[in-house]
Amino acid sequence: MSGPNVRDQRLQSVLRLLDIDTGNIDGIRGSKTNAAIEKAAVKLGMAGQDPKDVQQALLDKLKQPLFLAAAAEKLKQIDHPTKNDVIAMQTILSAAGHDDRQMRVSSNSKLMNGELNDATQFALAHTRNGAPDYQAYIKIGIPEATAQAAVAENDKKFLTNNFQGAVAGISPANPSPTLEGARLATAKPAVVALIP
């Protein structure tokens, strides 16, 4: 068995957010993680396909603004997060573009530490449409005009890539995306996105 790696930790985080048990989110591929990938393959409609393709489909979720937004909303609802919840949270926040230096195990590692510290809480509170909001950019020293432009670009990307917002359950009465809606809005004909 090899040591922990960031790719497996990200994969475990996505699986956890999709309510598939991987055991600890430790970046170590064990029997529970492998079983979780098999369950994901069935839910993705990819049963019998190369496990590497299933893994890539799961990791690609970390590039989907609607998934990131829905995952952040789900994580905000957890009153007493476990270390695994926090690692999943930090993984989503890092993928969304937040400054993750204080969320890592060490300065030379990309593995998340699972500590619900101020940086993690700030980033979670300042996530908008699956990306950092204006205050998050300002906090790391981005000039105001650049921060405003970045937020506008993120909003545009979110809306452009997710024009199926009505399908996703987003409405004036319910402006927050849901994981079920993200599944519907990001579904592809050949590969159905996995979101319970």
- 146 domain-assigned: yes
- 84 domain-assigned: yes
CA distances from 159 to 71, 93, 129, 166 (A): 17, 19, 9, 11
**Cα–Cα distance measured from residue 105 to residue 117, given in angstroms and rounded to the nearest whole number:** 12
- 190 domain-assigned: no
Domain range spanning residue 131?
Answer: 6-185
- At 43, the pLDDT band (50, 70, 90 cuts) reads confident
Supply the mean pLDDT for the chain. 84
- DSSP state, 82? -
Q: Which residues face 131 on adjacent strands?
A: 128
What's the average model confidence in pLDDT over 10-21? 94
Name the phi and psi angles at 40, rounded to 5: -65, -40
**CA-wise closest residue to 185 among 75, 12, 65, 14:** 65
The residues, ordered by sequence, that sit 6+ positions from 103 with a Cβ below 8 Å of its Cβ are: 90, 93, 94, 112, 113, 115, 117, 119, 120, 123
- 50 domain-assigned: yes
pLDDT in tens, 46-90: 999 999 999 999 999 999 888 899 899 999 999 999 999 999 999
Contact 59, 11 (CB under 8 A): yes
Q: What is the DSSP string of 3-60?
A: ---HHHHHHHHHHHHTT---SS-SS---HHHHHHHHHHHHHHT-TTS-HHHHHHHHHG
pLDDT of residue 170: 46
| Residue whose entry in the numeric block shows the structure tokens 């799961």 | 58
- 19 domain-assigned: yes
Provide, rounded to the nearest whole percent, the portion of the chain with pLDDT above 70.
Answer: 81
Position 33 pLDDT exceeds 90: yes
- 193 domain-assigned: no
- 25 domain-assigned: yes
Cα dihedral sign, 151-128-113-36: negative
Position 192 pLDDT exceeds 90: no
Contact 65, 131 (CB under 8 A): yes
pLDDT of residue 45: 87
pLDDT of residue 44: 81
- 196 domain-assigned: no
For the chain, what is the domain count? 1
- DSSP state, 105? S
